[in-house]
Structure 1
Amino acid sequence: MPLQAHYAQTLPKPRFRYTPCIQAGPFYQLAGMIALDAATGQLEAGGVAAETDKIMRNMLGALPEYGLRLDQLMIARIFTTRFDQFADINRIWEGYFPEGATPPARTAMGVAALPLGAAVEIEFCFYKEETP
């Protein structure tokens, strides 16, 4: 099965050489996202909560271009340089998955540094059932 690259006009252009979304069969792997503004290319100000919210809004904005929905999100991996503020990250995260919704699997890791001085990076993996 060949890999298929996907790009979204709503997302900031990659600053490095990578593909924002790769599809392998029913799996869609989104590259790690930091909280960049698509119009300015600048990192969202305001700390981990603001960065987490911007990442989630960027991801949601790209989903229609990838042909995906939030309920197809299988797993997310959160990386942060501020694990001491993980409660703020989690509070924003939970707002996107209200009570009664099935949230995806999730992994969270504390790291020493992230690209462009970001405090949060999240990568996403979706599963989209192929229709015959």
Structure 2
Amino acid sequence: MSGASIHAGEAPKPVGSYPHARRVGELLFLSGIGPRDPATDAIPGNEMYADGRVRKYDIEAQTRAVFANVRAVLEASGARWEDLVDVTVYLTDMARDFKAYNAVWAEYFPDPAAAPCRTTLGITALPTPIAIELKCVARLQE
């Protein structure tokens, strides 16, 4: 496998056997990153039933948390938020959550001309009870 793998101590541990990111040349590829709290593994904004199912969640809280986790991986890799060039966003409920998630995105990227490219996909589930996950590519400054 080419490229240096990165494990960020300030980000939640991956839920599988993979690094937080891998550097290949001037590009940094981040694995899927969710909103879990790095210290407690709790999911911001989730309210659960006793049987472990999600009763309700807060997409704005999860979006802010996933952005913080992405930033932690970027910083551990020597990159900055502004170095993001491409982001794929996975939402488990596109109809319910797109507008609120998009509003938070606009807070973090107020200038569309300076924002990374973005694709948003609606999917049925993620590996933990989260409503959003990001897959990112950044260009490292030499």
Fold in common (TM above 0.5):
yes
Aligned residue pair count:
130
Name the structure 2 match of 1:41.
41
- Alpha-carbon distance in 1 for matches of 2:21, 2:111: 29
**What CA distance in whole angstroms lies between the structure 2 residues aligned with 1:112 and 1:65?**
31
Q: How many angstroms does 1:100 deviate by?
A: 7.1
Partner of 2:129: 117
Give the equivalent residue in structure 2 for 1:4.
4
When structure 1 is superposed on structure 2, of 96-105 and 51-60 the one drifting more is 96-105
Local SS of the residue matching 1:92? helix
CA RMSD of superposed structures (Å):
1.6
How much does 1:62 deviate?
A: 3.0
Q: 1:100 to 1:2 in 2, by over 3 A?
A: closer
1: CA distance, partners of 2:5 / 2:24: 9
Q: 3-state DSSP class of the match of 1:102?
A: coil
User: Using the alignment, how far apart are the partners of 1:88 and 1:121 within structure 2?
Assistant: 15
Identical amino acids, percent of aligned pairs:
28
Report the equivalent of 1:106: 118
TM-score, normalised to structure 1, is: 0.91
TM-score (norm 2): 0.85
Give the gaps of 5 or more residues in structure 2: 46-56
Pair 1:75-2:75 in alignment: no
Partner of 1:58: 69
Provide the C-alpha distance between the structure 1 equivalents of 2:68 and 2:2, rounded to a whole number of angstroms.
29
Q: Any unmatched runs of 5+ in structure 1?
A: none
Moved over 2 A (4+): 61-64
- The answer as to whether partners of 1:48 and 1:82 remain within 8 angstroms in 2 is no
Alpha-carbon deviations, 1:82-123, whole Å to 9, x = none?
A: 101201110111111123760000000000111112111111
Kindly indicate which of the two structures has a greater share of residues assigned to helix.
Answer: 1
Distance 2:129 2:81 in 1: 27
